[in-house]
Amino acid sequence: MTTYKLLLLPGDGIGTEIMAEVKTVIDWFGKRGVASFESEQDLAGGAAYDAHGKAISEATMKLAQESDAVIFGAVGGPKWDSVPYDVRPEAALLRLRKDLELFANLRPAICYPALADASSLKRELVEGLDILIVRELTGGVYFGSPKEIVTLENGEKRAVDTQLYTTSEIERIARVAFDLAKTRSSRVASAEKRNVMKSGVLWNQVVTKVGKEEYADVALEHVLADNCAMQLVRRPKQYDVIVCDNLFGDILSDVAAMLTGSLGMLPSAALGAPDATTGRRKSMYEPVHGSAPDIAGKGISNPIAMIASFAMALRYSFGLVAEADLLDRAISSVLSQGLRTGDIYTEGTTKVGTKEMGAAILKQLDVLSA
Active site residues: 142, 193, 226, 250, 254
* Residue at shortest CB range from ligand IPM: 90
- Residue 107 marked ligand-binding: yes
Q: Decide: helix, strand or coil at residue 289.
A: coil
User: One-letter amino acid identity for 337?
Assistant: Q
**147, 158 in Cβ contact below 8 A?**
no
Question: What is the nearest approach in angstroms of ligand NAD to the Cβ of residue 257?
Answer: 9
Q: Which one among 44, 93, 133, 271 touches ligand IPM, defined by CB under 6 A? A: 93
**8, 39 in Cβ contact below 8 A?**
yes
* Piece of the chain touching ligand IPM by CB under 6 A; list 6-14, 30-38, 90-98, 109-117: 90-98
Question: What is the nearest approach in angstroms of ligand NAD to the Cβ of residue 246?
Answer: 13
* Piece of the chain touching ligand NAD by CB under 6 A; list 52-60, 226-234, 271-279, 295-303: 295-303
Q: Using the Cα atoms of residue 177, residue 182, residue 272 and residue 23 in order, give the sign of their dihedral.
A: positive
The answer to the question of residue 90 lying near ligand IPM (CB under 6 A) is yes
Nearest to 133 by CA among 164, 100, 166, 110: 110
Provide the β-strand partners of residue 5.
Answer: 38
**189, 243 in Cβ contact below 8 A?**
yes
294 binds, among ligand IPM, Mn ion, ligand NAD, none (CB under 5 to 8 A by kind): ligand NAD
Which C-beta is closer to ligand NAD: that of 223 or that of 352? 352
* Piece of the chain touching ligand IPM by CB under 6 A; list 9-17, 88-96, 222-230, 339-347: 88-96
Q: Which one among 121, 288, 307, 344 touches ligand IPM, defined by CB under 6 A? A: 288
Backbone angles phi and psi of 140, in degrees to 5: 70, -155
Helix (H) or strand (E) holding 285: strand 283-285
**Cα distance between residue 3 and residue 55, in whole Å:** 29
The answer to the question of residue 250 lying near Mn ion (CB under 5 A) is yes
Backbone angles phi and psi of 335, in degrees to 5: -70, -40
Alpha carbon distances (Å) from 79 to 13, 72, 162 = 10, 20, 28
DSSP label at residue 119: S
* Piece of the chain touching ligand NAD by CB under 6 A; list 147-155, 157-165, 206-214, 285-293: 285-293
The 50-89 site mask, x for binding ligand NAD (CB under 6 A), equals ------------------------xxxx------------
- Residue 179 marked ligand-binding: no
The 10 Å Cβ neighbour count of residue 314 is: 26
Which C-beta is closer to Mn ion: that of 68 or that of 245? 245
**Cα distance between residue 152 and residue 154, in whole Å:** 5
- The torsion of the CA quartet 36, 39, 45, 49, rounded to 10 degrees, works out to -160
Residues in 240-259 at the binding interface with ligand IPM, rule: CB under 6 A: 250
The answer to the question of residue 127 lying near ligand IPM (CB under 6 A) is no
Q: Give the interface with ligand IPM as residue ranges (CB under 6 A).
A: 90, 93-94, 250, 288, 290
Q: Give the interface with ligand NAD as residue ranges (CB under 6 A).
A: 11, 14, 74-77, 90, 93, 263-264, 286, 289-295, 301-302, 305, 341, 343
Binding site residue list for Mg(2+)? 226, 250, 254
